Each structure stands twice: as structure tokens, then as C-alpha cells.
């Protein structure tokens, strides 16, 4: 997401840009690649011809960064892009279409397979497992598919595949009498994608179709497990992009889609007018498909009239971006508008807009008001602020509209499968509030992963009376306390600072942080840095955050006079977007009702975590094999950094420990005996599957049966209440 105006480390070519944090020096990476090319590792790697056959990394022995990397590399070379890593599916991005990998036939194959987990690793296994869990009604019935990875790794692609899978296997409409495609709910659910991507994605240095927001999509299923609706929740749209794009990047796709020659004619804009907020317009991307966006909008009920309002707003924003200011001759007067800025904004009264951008209104009581000319810099800030607030509100309106169009009535659905597509860890040369929020979200998800899978599994074995040799895992609670702790976490202190009726002072805030948080092991400071900053040791690596500008970003103030102006717009949609907005309730210094960016983000993340905790999660880690997005190119250094950042080796260790240390080594004998009983009384068992394990639940203790049939062979173990099987 946004790194402000800061320059990013590397440019997508140098290999230092971080989505999954690059936490080690080059030297350290070389070391981790070569550390153990001896003994067991050497012996394992000797049979290079076989490495691509390891479809589950828990079968690799020994599990080291080198062995895991080599297997993935061999599979990639063999054009095998999915590999299990215990409870996680690793998806390597091929960066080119792979014929028949996601075809209808392949979907059917996985959907109809008696044991899908025995088929080749594929994202459809994850999809099918989740789907069968819903059918099996084993608690928790609702499912979450968590897709993570750095920018360009393939999260959006994966989410789209998953949605298409459910829209196919859980299709409801074939049962309906209406053949009208507009009516088809699954089509409408899929149509939400091009709209959200047009308005929320942009071409960045790392990905030509980068999602600039996080999203959680709930696919709603009825009692017969048919898709009857969906809802979308979005997080942290990078709205700063609308009013300024990092060098060599672009604005949101929709601006390019809607400013073709044909569209310009319609909006009465000259075909050669240049827009400051439309950089790199000469680049034509696959994503610039206006017709698809418009068609999807129509399907979802955004009719031609509403579309007209939307596109007029977008055209107005581009015009606004061309407004520039220069100092007035007389300093006591408002700044002048540059000559080229005298275009008409068309959405608001021109004279009122020009006043609002250049003159601050200070209210003293209800009646009297003082007018103060803004500085040159302030004028630009107000212009950008106007654009950001309009675009963010428009995006929110679209999401609400989409939800109204695809969400099923509460009485018609009973379970859901949620797809979470979130941004990976970010670490740029300069990091600010956006990165802190994103990295905080990743810490929460990592904790969820650890808590759900690792901790829960260890506890489960203990409660089942099974022998378990504990595997160490990294607990990131300390880091979370540092960020979200009340009253002395970074977020709380930041909010406190923002509520004080005084101008923000980065140095002062830095001193406050040091005073309150110096005993937290996850926080540190570079004593030689001139810029006020703090460094957080995230589970995926250290990230330094600039303090300058952080308070302003957190307050995200919108001058009340801009909101008053927007409320008066003659564009019905723009008017509607701001009709209920209280102009003074937001971002005005000193007011209690200030809702800061971090408190909003923390609240929405807490709701998301609650949902995730109430579901059975399935994790997919997307890996970007090279930073240049080149087809079928595997850069070891790039991959290993991502594997380390998402803790995949640790995950494999634990999954492998689960399988080897007790499933196979100690308790397999008991399972041999129980299996035969299972075959006879299968119907009495309920099966729940997640990658890496299968659980069979029975009302009575499986141990009762364990002694009856001593000679049957399968890999698994009986606990006190469950039988756990190793997935093959």
C-alpha cells in the first residue's frame, strides 16, 4: 500500500522491495541457502530428479530452507505450481496462463473426487475441503480461506479462482426457472470483481493489477450448500493514490478506462487534454477494459444514469488534479490560481470551490466566522483532501451498492465460506501509518494462524492423552501489545496525541513513545537517525516507521467547509455521498468525536478476527518467484525471503512433527486396529478435513474399538475422542 511520497527501496528490479519483509542481509540469505549442504541435506538433495515429486513439504527430510527451496524450485521447473506445506498450501505464481489448470473439467474432477486431498495439490483442494466441511456440518461449520503473500504473488488471482470454483460447484441458478443471466446470483457475485478491481486496483511497480485495499468476501450458502449470495467487506483503501501516484505508477484503473477518446467526447473533455493525476496514460494494460466494468455495473444494477453520475465525478476529479496555485502579489490575499487551472470542475460551484480551496473558515460560535487565506502548501493539501474524501466515499458507496445487490436475505442462507485477500507485510525505505496498519493486520493474522493451528493442535493432542513433543513457535503477543496495548500501545498514544488541541510534534511524540515503551522488547530506536522514528520487530522482520506526518495521517482531517460545499453539489450522487455527513464531527482538532484512522482500522480488524476465530481456517501462501513478474522464472533469493517472512519452514516443521513424531512413530498401531471398525460403521462418523489432517468424530470413545482389530493398517492415531488421520 501507500508509502506516501517516499521513494521505495528498489523498484521491483533490485529485489529489495518488500511485500513479505526481507528481513535478512544478503549475507544471511546466502548463509541460509548454503548453511547445511552437508550430511543429511546433501544426501536428500542428491536425488535431484525426484525433488519435484514432493507434493507435501512435510515429507521432505530434513526440513531446512535449502531442501524446501530446492523442492519448490524443482516443482516450478516441472510446471507444478501448487505444493502442500502441512496445513498450508503454497502457490507459486507462474506469471503466465497455464492451459487447463483451472478449467471446468478440472473443477469437476476435484469436486467429484472421493478423496480430493489425494489428487495433485491445487487451490481447488482447499476450496473443496472447505466446501465439504460445510456439508459435513462439523463445528465450526463456517470456513475461512486466508490468502496471503506479497504484492504480485497471486492473491487476487487465487481469490478469483476460488470464487469461480464456488460459483460453479455451488451454482444455484441452474435450479431456477429463469435463464436470464442478469438474474444469476453467481454471475452477479463474480461481476463484483471487475468493478472492485477497476476502482480499487492500480498499476504499481510491483504488480500491474495491484489491489490497493484489503477484502473479505463472504460467500453465503443455503441449507443445500448452494451459493445464494455474498457480501464484501473492504479495508484501508489507499485513497492517497487518487491525488498523487509514486513515480512510474498509475492512478486507479477506472480513471484510465473512463478517459478513452470515446469517453472524453462523452464527458466533453478534449481528447488531448493532459491530466496531472493520470500519469503513464500511454501505457495500455489488460486491465483497462471499460466495457467489462460497465457491463458488470449494469448486471449489478448500476444503471446508465448512475454510471453517468459516477463518471462525471471521476472526470471532475481529474480536472481538480489540474488545479494549481501560485502566491498572490499581496500576501494578505488568497493564493492565485494558475492560468491552466481555470477549467470548470462542473460538480460544484466554481467560485465557491475556489474560495474553499484557498481560504480557511474559522468559526467562533454559531454566527461569526473568520476567513484566513491558506498558505500555498495548504491550498494543495486542501485540493488533495477534497479528492481523497470524494473518492473514498464513492468507493464505499460502490461497496454498499454491490452488497445490496449480491447479499442474500438472512433467512435464505445459513453458512458461509469467507475469502480473505490481504496485503502482505510491507517495508519500504520510508514507512508510515499505512505500513504500520498493514503490518499490524499481518501480525494479527499470524497470531491467528499460530493460535488456531499450532497452539490448538498441541493442546488437542494433550487433551486426547497423546504423546507430543512440543515444537517451539514464535509468540508475537509482545509485538501486538506494543501496537494495540491500552493505554500505552503505539495506537493509543497516537490517538491521545491526535486528540490534544495542539500542532503535532514528531520529536515530542518520539520522546513520549520512548518513555512509555522502552521496556517492550519489540521496540527499538536507531540512535544515529536524524528523523524521528521507531522500529518494530515484527515476526517477519524489523520495520522502521517515520513519525513525521503520522499524526496528521491518523487524524485525516477534512476541512468542514469542503463538506458543506459537497453537500450542495448538483451532481445527485455526489450530493448523496455527503448528505448524512456531519462537517464538524470529523477530524476537527480537539473534538471528542474524532474517529482516527487507527481506531477505525483496529475496530474493523477486530470484527474480522472475531469472524475468523469462529470459522475453520485454510491458509494459502502465494509466492512471487521473481520481482520482475517474468514467466516461469524462479529466483532463489526472492523465494527464500518470502518463505522466511511467512514462516513456512516453521509451519512445515510443526506439521512434519505432527505427522512423524507421534502419528507415525508411536501410535500407528492403535489406528490399524480401529480402521476396520471405521469401514463397518462409517456412517456413524463425521469427517472434517483440513490440509494436513483428517478428523473423524464419534460419539463414543474410539479406543473401545481400537483393541478389536489388531491387524488393519493405515496411518493415523486414536485419541480419547477422535481419530486423526494423516492426509496423503
Binding-site positions for ATP read: 149-156
> Which residues 6+ apart lie within 8 Å of 432 measured at CB?
3, 4, 6, 545, 546, 549, 550, 553
Residue 561 catalytic?
no
Minimum distance from CB of 98 to ligand ATP (Å)? 6
Residue 148 catalytic?
no
Specify the residue, 151 or 520, whose C-beta has the smaller distance to ligand ATP. Answer: 151
Minimum distance from CB of 445 to ligand ATP (Å)? 14
Specify the residue, 160 or 382, whose C-beta has the smaller distance to ligand ATP. Answer: 160
**Whole-number Å distance between alpha carbons of 434 and 236:** 8
What are the φ and ψ backbone dihedral angles of 178, each rounded to 5 degrees?
-75, 130
Minimum distance from CB of 629 to ligand ATP (Å)? 6
**Whole-number Å distance between alpha carbons of 238 and 636:** 31
Minimum distance from CB of 287 to ligand ATP (Å)? 8
Specify the residue, 194 or 559, whose C-beta has the smaller distance to ligand ATP. Answer: 194
**In b/e form, how buried is each residue of 678-710, taking b as 16+ CB within 10 angstroms?**
beeeeeebeebbbbbbbbbbbeeebbebbeebe
Residue 11 catalytic?
no
Catalytic residue among 20, 316, 418, 424: 424
Neighbours of 221 (CB within 10 A): 27
Half-sphere exposure of 167 (CA within 13 A, CB side): 19
Residue 152 catalytic?
yes
Residue 442 catalytic?
no
Cell, residue 282: 500511454
> By CB neighbour count within 10 A (0-12 exposed, 13-18 middle, 19+ buried), where does 190 fall?
buried
Give all strands (DSSP E) within 426-540, no chain letters. 523-524, 533-538
Conformation bin of residue 632: beta by default, left when phi > 0, alpha when psi is -120 to 50: left
Which spans of this chain sit near ligand ATP (rule: CB under 6 A)?
Answer: 93-98, 149, 151-157, 207, 209-211, 423, 622
CB of 584 closer than 8 Å to CB of 573? no
Specify the residue, 540 or 565, whose C-beta has the smaller distance to ligand ATP. Answer: 540
CB of 419 closer than 8 Å to CB of 163? yes
**Whole-number Å distance between alpha carbons of 125 and 661:** 26
Specify the residue, 30 or 79, whose C-beta has the smaller distance to ligand ATP. Answer: 79
Residue 501 catalytic?
no
Specify the residue, 215 or 533, whose C-beta has the smaller distance to ligand ATP. Answer: 215
Catalytic residue among 66, 148, 207, 504: 207
Minimum distance from CB of 396 to ligand ATP (Å)? 19
Annotated binding site: 149-156
Catalytic residue among 129, 426, 497, 561: 426
Minimum distance from CB of 627 to ligand ATP (Å)? 12
Catalytic residue among 152, 321, 489, 647: 152
Catalytic residue among 3, 58, 133, 156: 156
Specify the residue, 209 or 721, whose C-beta has the smaller distance to ligand ATP. Answer: 209
Minimum distance from CB of 527 to ligand ATP (Å)? 34
3-state helix, strand, coil in the chain (%, to 5): 45, 15, 40
Catalytic residue among 67, 211, 544, 655: 211
Residue 174 catalytic?
no
DSSP track, 305-325: HHHHHHHHHHHHHHHHHT--E
Residue 478 catalytic?
no
Which sequence positions are flagged as catalytic? Answer: 151-152, 156, 207, 210-211, 424, 426
Amino acid at each position: 500500500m501507500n508509502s506516501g511520497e517516499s521513494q521505495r527501496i528498489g523498484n521491483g528490479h533490485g529485489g529489495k522491495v518488500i511485500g513479505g519483509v526481507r528481513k535478512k542481509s544478503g549475507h544471511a540469505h546466502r548463509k541460509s541457502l548454503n548453511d547445511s549442504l552437508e550430511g543429511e541435506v546433501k544426501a536428500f538433495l542428491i536425488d535431484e530428479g525426484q525433488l519435484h515429486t514432493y507434493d507435501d513439504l512435510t515429507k521432505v527430510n530434513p526440513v531446512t530452507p535449502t531442501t524446501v527451496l530446492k523442492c519448490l524450485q524443482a516443482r516450478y521447473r516441472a510446471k507444478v505450481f501448487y505444493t502442500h506445506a502441512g496445513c498450508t498450501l503454497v502457490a507459486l505464481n507462474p506469471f503466465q496462463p497455464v492451459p487447463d489448470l483451472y478449467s471446468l473439467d478440472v473443477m469437476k474432477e476435484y469436486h467429484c473426487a472421493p478423496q480430493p486431498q489425494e489428487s495433485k495439490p491445487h487451490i481447488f483442494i482447499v476450496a473443496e475441503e472447505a466446501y465439504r466441511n460445510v456439508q459435513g456440518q462439523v463445528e465450526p461449520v463456517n470456513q475461512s480461506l486466508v490468502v496471503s503473500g506479497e504484492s504480485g504473488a497471486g492473491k487476487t488471482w487465487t481469490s478469483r479462482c476460488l470464487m469461480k470454483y464456488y460459483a460453479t460447484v455451488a451454482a444455484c441458478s441452474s435450479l431456477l426457472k429463469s435463464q436470464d443471466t442478469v438474474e444469476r446470483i453467481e454471475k452477479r457475485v463474480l461481476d463484483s470483481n471487475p468493478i472492485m478491481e477497476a476502482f480499487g486496483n492500480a498499476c504499481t511497480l510491483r504488480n500491474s493489477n495491484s489491489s490497493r485495499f484489503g477484502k473479505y468476501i463472504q460467500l453465503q450458502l443455503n441449507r443445500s450448500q448452494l451459493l445464494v449470495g455474498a457480501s464484501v467487506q473492504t479495508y484501508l483503501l489507499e485513497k492517497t493514490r487518487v491525488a498523487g501516484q509514486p513515480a512510474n505508477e498509475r492512478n486507479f484503473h477506472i480513471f484510465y478506462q473512463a478517459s478513452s477518446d470515446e469517453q472524453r467526447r462523452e464527458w466533453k473533455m478534449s481528447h488531448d487534454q493532459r491530466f496531472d493525476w493520470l500519469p503513464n496514460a500511454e501505457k495500455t494494460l489488460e486491465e483497462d477494459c471499460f466495457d467489462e466494468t460497465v457491463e458488470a455495473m449494469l448486471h449489478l444494477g448500476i444503471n446508465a444514469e448512475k454510471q453517468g453520475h459516477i463518471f462525471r465525478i471521476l472526470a471532475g476529479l481529474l480536472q481538480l488534479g489540474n488545479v494549481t496555485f501560485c502566491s498572490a502579489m499581496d500576501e494578505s490575499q488568497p493564493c492565485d490560481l494558475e492560468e491552466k487551472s481555470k477549467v470548470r470542475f462542473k460538480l460544484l460551484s466554481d467560485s465557491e470551490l475556489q474560495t474553499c480551496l484557498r481560504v480557511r473558515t474559522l468559526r467562533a460560535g454559531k454566527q461569526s466566522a473568520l476567513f484566513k487565506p491558506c498558505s500555498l502548501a495548504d491550498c494543495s493539501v486542501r485540493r488533495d483532501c477534497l479528492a481523497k474524501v470524494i473518492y473514498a466515499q464513492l468507493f464505499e458507496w460502490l461497496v454498499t451498492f454491490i452488497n445490496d445487490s449480491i447479499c442474500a436475505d438472512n433467512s435464505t442462507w445459513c453458512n458461509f465460506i469467507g475469502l480473505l485477500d490481504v496485503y502482505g507485510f510491507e517495508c519500504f525505505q520510508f514507512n508510515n501509518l499505512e505500513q504500520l496498519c498493514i503490518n499490524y493486520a499481518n501480525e494479527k493474522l499470524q497470531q491467528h494462524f499460530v493460535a488456531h493451528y499450532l497452539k490448538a493442535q498441541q493442546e488437542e493432542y494433550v487433551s486426547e492423552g497423546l504423546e507430543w513433543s512440543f515444537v517451539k513457535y514464535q509468540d508475537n503477543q509482545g509485538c501486538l501489545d506494543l501496537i494495540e496495548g491500552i493505554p500505552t500501545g503505539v495506537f493509543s498514544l497516537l490517538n491521545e496525541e491526535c486528540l490534544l488541541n495542539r500542532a503535532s510534534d514528531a520529536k515530542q511524540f518520539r520522546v513520549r513513545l520512548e518513555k512509555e515503551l522502552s521496556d517492550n522488547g519489540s521496540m527499538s530506536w536507531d540512535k544515529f537517525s536524524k528523523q524521528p522514528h521507531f522500529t518494530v520487530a515484527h515476526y517477519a522482520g524489523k520495520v522502521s516507521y517515520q513519525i513525521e506526518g503520522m499524526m496528521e495521517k491518523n487524524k485525516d482531517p477534512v476541512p468542514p467547509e469542503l463538506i458543506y460545499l459537497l453537500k450542495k453539489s448538483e451532481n445527485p450522487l455526489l450530493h448523496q455521498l455527503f448528505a448524512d455527513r456531519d462537517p464538524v464531527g470529523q477530524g476537527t482538532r480537539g473534538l471528542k468525536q474524532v474517529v482516527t484512522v487507527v481506531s477505525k482500522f483496529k475496530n474493523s480488524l477486530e470484527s474480522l478476527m472475531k469472524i475468523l476465530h469462529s470459522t475453520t481456517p485454510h491458509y494459502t501462501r502465494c509466492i512471487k518467484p521473481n520481482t520482475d513478474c517474468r514467466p516461469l522464472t524462479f529466483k532463489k533469493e526472492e523465494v527464500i525471503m518470502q518463505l522466511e517472512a511467512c514462516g513456512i519452514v516453521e509451519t512445515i516443521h510443526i506439521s512434519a512433527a505432527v505427522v512423524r513424531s507421534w502419528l507415525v512413530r508411536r501410535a500407528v498401531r492403535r489406528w490399524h486396529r480401529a480402521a476396520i471398525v471405521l469401514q463397518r460403521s462409517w456412517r456413524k462418523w463425521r469427517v472434517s478435513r483440513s490440509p494436513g489432517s483428517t478428523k473423524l468424530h464419534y460419539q463414543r470413545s474410539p479406543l473401545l474399538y481400537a483393541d478389536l482389530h489388531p491387524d488393519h493398517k493405515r496411518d493415523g492415531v486414536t485419541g480419547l475422542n477422535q481419530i486423526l488421520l494423516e492426509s496423503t
